[in-house]
Amino acid sequence: MAPILEIRSVVKRFGGVAAVNGVSLALEPGRIYGLIGPNGSGKTTLFNCITGVDQADEGEILFKGRRIDGLKPHQIFHLGMGRTFQVIRVFPELTALENLLVVTTAGYAEAERRARELLALVKLERLAGEFAGNLSYGQQKLVEFIRVLMTDPEMILLDEPAAGVNRTLLNELLDAVRRLRDQGKTVLLVEHDMKVVMGLCETVFVLDHGEKLAEGAPGVIQADERVIEAYFGR
Amino acid sequence: MGVLITPSMIGQVVISGLLAGSLYAMVALGLGLIFGVMRVLNVAHGPLLMMGAYTTFWLFQWIGLNPYLSLLVSMPLLFLVGVALQRFLVRRVVDAPELSSLLLTFGVSIALVNLAQLAFTSDLRSVEYLTGSFVVGPFALSKPRLATCAFAIAITVGAFVFLRSTRLGKAIRAVSQSREVAQVCGIDVQRIHLITFGLGSALAAAGGSLVAVMVAIQPEMGQVYTFKSFLVIVLGGAGNYPGALLGGLLLGLVEQMASLFLTSQVNEAVAYVLLVVVLLIRPTGLLKGRV
Amino acid sequence: MKRWFPVALGVLAVGLALYPLQATGYGIRVMLQLFMWIALAQSWNLISGLTGYVSFGHVVFFGTGAYASSILIVTLGWAWPLACLGGGVVAAGLALVIGWPCLRLKGPYFAIATLGLNEVLRVVVSYYEGLTGGGNGLSLPTLHASVEIYYAMGIVAAAVTAVTYVIVTSRFGLRLMTIREDEVAAEAMGIDTLRYKLYAFLLSAAAPGIVGGLSARDQGYIEPLSVFPLIMTITMIVMALFGGKGTIWGPVLGAAVLFAFQEVVWARFIYLHQLLFGAIIVGVVLLMPRGILGVLQQKYNLPRTI
């Protein structure tokens, strides 16, 4: 099966430092992938290059066989790839419902129907008219999560979904991610919480100092000496 | 047009451009420091320059103080003004949306210009101190421009030495790169903000004192420098302090070259066209910077 | 709120429509100017209040409209209503030309870019002397049409307010607001922020263009200094900020209050007046950044349609 996302020798420099230094990855559709690595390994930069927030200096990124490096974020979004952010970025002065409505270009009635459907999915229907800025951290996290789903994207990038989230909510989120996978969607998440990664992801990529260190099933990665060294010291 | 352009004309233009550019570089560095450290675009930068110019003028008028010596007064004075502005006004909006600091400094700039109008009236003033040019071969080097350039270079070099070598200067650069990390390293970020705003204002004041000898002094004289300083920052890349130098020189050169072909009226628009062109081609500036 | 407001509005509209029948020439002039400021403050609000992209040179659209429509009247003999609409179109065109490169910038950069715009236009106007009369200004054929212009201004003011209402209650408006809230997230959620900013900018330039033309027609004479003054931008901004940027009626409130203030202070103490405006801007930003209506909106949980 052709990979849904291909990253070919991507390099991204800031000043003199290469935050991402020749990384190549291939993601098959319908699986959950994890991207891990110690701080400063280039995970977020790579994420930003994929989603168009940053432009890669070298290399190519292909989504569904089509080059997306060089495209703007909103264009990539409309090709079927959505993302969430490490620091929650809901629109605080819009209500939860409005946060969802702005995303889709579908007709108003259709959009509202889908928005309420998604809100019900995460049990937030009664907060539809509440300003997003007034919601609790966990609720905002959920709104950001379902916001990505408004246009039914084929691929979803999650930037540290477990950050600051309590256990119950986290389990709900993880279940939701598994359901998305079952629907045939591809998920790539950046995460620091190893339990989450090991319990959820089918394949894990490890970055260190901007380069791909290892790739494989969670169990294999956990036992890999180089990975252990990268995290715990040299 | 229809003018024959000789090599010596080009040489003259290059020299004039570099002389003017050194001033732009120094003044722009002031704006760039404030922006780099606090992400505040100080719209009042021009009015601060204007205040430096008036300081020099009044000192010259009252006690006949050498305009170049008045730098020793205008720079510290405006340093304090800058610190006060930061302490009482700007500090409260540093963490607010950037919109707020923009509007705030805009309001401050209006207030300063009109305070000057009320205090000094809009009569044109000037400091008649240095006139004439040195003639070197086919080139005429305007004396005031030379002096301005010399002082601008000296002050700018001093600023860079300060930023590179002193602990305070390094702290400033640290905060400008990452406030959180600087804080973790034990740097008193509030203090750095105060000092930076003061420094930026002092550099603007230096610019004002230096141009006081060359141009007409009036309350609205600063606005064009705000804009040009901003243009220099865009040319050089935001947060890129050495870039500000190159940007300043480039602006000076482009302006002088344009004056070869265009009438002086249209010259004012040159800076603007340059800005739009640069923004279209490379919004992050000609050198690497953080937009 | 909901029931008596439209009724009150209707009564006010009728009152304003009948006003010229028994007002003095001076009274009509005053109201005409008030309408003009409402239109200007509302327009500034459309770009700066909704998207958060502050325009420091907005008067440039007023001046452009003034010149464009005056030239249409003088050289092509157009009737003034059509010429003023033409002024609006030209102003919107200018917004497109400037906005396309400059709206790619982050907010503060865009703001300063607009600061220099005024200077350029003033230079352009002086340069094309043949057409614009350069520094000597441009005179329009004499016409006593204050009453008609009163109505025209009133219609424009009402129209801009109505357009603002429509925008704020639509998804288009929501998307504009996301640009203000979090532009990076907006882009990531598929919103082509450049395009939306451009639409808002165009819309915000049209009314000043029309109103500039109307003002020029009323004055009968324009020159670069009179139609491109920084103080007009400052006034627009103070009015919108004071009343409440990002709200619908905020600019109207701000315009009314500060216009009254201006009538009293301006004529006698120009610099003090401007100084006070600068101080008001500083005060509003520090103490009530959302303006009067914004504060009320937050405190009493009023709907966005205020």
B2: in domain: no
More confident residue, C148 or C109: C148
pLDDT value of position B187: 87
Residues of C near B (CB-CB distance < 8 A)? 52, 54, 56, 98, 101-102, 104-109, 111-113, 115-117, 119-120, 123-124, 126-127, 180, 230, 234, 237, 241, 271-272, 274-275, 277-282, 285-286, 289
A24: in domain: no
Tokens of B132: 């004439």
CB contact under 8 A, A102 and C182: no
More confident residue, C43 or A211: C43
Cα–Cα dist B26/B32, whole Å: 10
Measure B249 CA to nearest chain C CA, in Å.
20
The mean pLDDT of A51-75, rounded to a whole number, is: 91
Handedness of CA A199, A201, A207, A210 (dihedral sign): negative
Count of alpha carbons within 13 Å of C219, Cβ hemisphere only? Answer: 19
CB C211 within 8 A of CB C36: yes
Tokens of A149: 């789903």
Q: Report CA-CA distances (Å) from B71 to B79, B83, B89, B211.
A: 12, 18, 26, 11
CB contact under 8 A, A82 and C188: yes
A65: in domain: no
Strands A155-159 and A81-83: parallel
Domain, as residue range, for B237: 7-281
Cβ atoms within 10 A of the Cβ of C4, count? 9
Phi-psi region of C3 (alpha: psi -120 to 50; beta: other; left: phi over 0): alpha
- A13-17, A21-25, C76-80: least confident range: A13-17
Tokens of C53: 């992209």
Burial class, B4, CB count within 10 angstroms (exposed 0-12 / middle 13-18 / buried 19+): exposed
For A161-214, how does the pLDDT look when each residue is reduced to its tens digit (9 = 90+)? Answer: 988 888 888 888 899 999 999 999 999 999 888 889 988 999 999 998 888 888
Mutate to test the interface with A, among C189, C247, C301, C304 (most CBs of A within 10 A): C189
pLDDT value of position C67: 92
The mean pLDDT of B253-258, rounded to a whole number, is: 87
Best CA proximity match to A125, nearest among A151, A100, A158, A156:
A100
**Amino acid letter, residue C33:** Q
C245 and A CB contact within 8 Å: no
What's the number of domains chain A is made of? 1
Contacts of C188 in chain A (CB under 8 A): 51, 53, 73-74, 77, 82-83, 85, 89
CB A158 within 8 A of CB A177: yes
Contacting subunits of B (3+ beta carbon pairs below 8 A):
C
More confident residue, C138 or A67: A67
- A25-29, A89-93, B8-12, B223-227: least confident range: B8-12
Percent above pLDDT 90 for chain C: 58
What integer best gives the mean pLDDT of chain A? Answer: 89
Instruction: State the helix-helix crossing angle for C270-287 and B98-120, rounded to 10 degrees.
Output: 160
pLDDT value of position A167: 87
Give me the residue from C117, C234, C285 closest to B110, CB to CB.
C234
pLDDT band for position A233 (50/70/90)? low
Q: Any idea what the CATH number is for the domain that residue A221 is in?
A: 3.40.50.300
Strands B133-136 and A5-14: unpaired
Q: Any idea what the CATH number is for the domain that residue B124 is in?
A: 1.10.3470
Q: B61 Cβ partners below 8 Å, 6+ apart?
A: none
Highest-scoring range by mean pLDDT, B258-262, C242-246, C271-275: C242-246
What's the number of domains chain B is made of? 1
Domain, as residue range, for A183: 31-44+72-232
Partners of A17 in the beta sheet?
A14
The mean pLDDT of B5-14, rounded to a whole number, is: 82
Q: C174 Cβ partners below 8 Å, 6+ apart?
A: A94, A98, A101, A102
Buried b (16+ CB within 10 A) or exposed e, B70-105: bbebbbebbbebbbebbeebbebbbeeebbbbbbbb
CB C211 within 8 A of CB C19: no
Cβ atoms within 10 A of the Cβ of C260, count? 12
Q: A179 Cβ partners below 8 Å, 6+ apart?
A: none
Contacts of C192 in chain A (CB under 8 A): 72, 74-75
Q: In what helix (H) or strand (E) does residue A196 lie, and over which residues does it extend?
A: helix A194-200
pLDDT band for position B286 (50/70/90)? low
CB A125 within 8 A of CB A72: no
pLDDT value of position B265: 65
Contacts of B266 in chain C (CB under 8 A): 123, 127
Tokens of B212: 């006081």
The mean pLDDT of A8-12, rounded to a whole number, is: 92
B286: in domain: no
B288: in domain: no
Our measurement of the distance from residue B173's CA atom to the centroid of its chain's CA atoms, rounded to an integer in Å, reads 19
The mean pLDDT of B250-273, rounded to a whole number, is: 80
Partners of A10 in the beta sheet?
A23
Give me the residue from B93, B227, B280 closest to C115, CB to CB.
B227
- Return the beta strands (E) in chain B as ranges: 133-136, 139-142
Q: C153 Cβ partners below 8 Å, 6+ apart?
A: C32, C35, C36, C39, C211, C214
B247: in domain: yes
CB B40 within 8 A of CB B238: no
Cα–Cα dist C144/A32, whole Å: 75
The answer, yes or no, to whether residue A218 has pLDDT greater than 80, is yes
Tokens of B91: 């500090």
Count of alpha carbons within 13 Å of B165, Cβ hemisphere only? Answer: 6
The mean pLDDT of B188-194, rounded to a whole number, is: 92
CB B258 within 8 A of CB B60: no
Comparing alpha-carbon positions, the chain C residue that sits nearest to B104 is C282
- A29-33, B184-188, B267-271: least confident range: B267-271
The mean pLDDT of B54-76, rounded to a whole number, is: 93
CB contact under 8 A, B41 and C111: yes
A13: in domain: no
Cβ atoms within 10 A of the Cβ of A198, count? 17
Partners of A205 in the beta sheet?
A35, A215
C189 and A CB contact within 8 Å: yes
Q: B13 Cβ partners below 8 Å, 6+ apart?
A: B253, B256, B257, B259, B260
Comparing alpha-carbon positions, the chain C residue that sits nearest to B121 is C271
A140: in domain: yes
Largest CA distance in chain A: 58
For B73-106, how does the pLDDT look when each residue is reduced to its tens digit (9 = 90+)? Answer: 999 999 999 999 999 999 999 888 878 898 999 9
The answer, yes or no, to whether residue B291 has pLDDT greater than 70, is no
What integer best gives the mean pLDDT of chain C? Answer: 89
The answer, yes or no, to whether residue C255 has pLDDT greater than 70, is yes
- B74-88, C78-92, C228-242: least confident range: C228-242
pLDDT band for position B289 (50/70/90)? very low
Strands A58-63 and A5-14: antiparallel
The answer, yes or no, to whether residue C102 has pLDDT greater than 70, is yes
ipTM higher than threshold 0.95: no
CB contact under 8 A, A74 and C188: yes
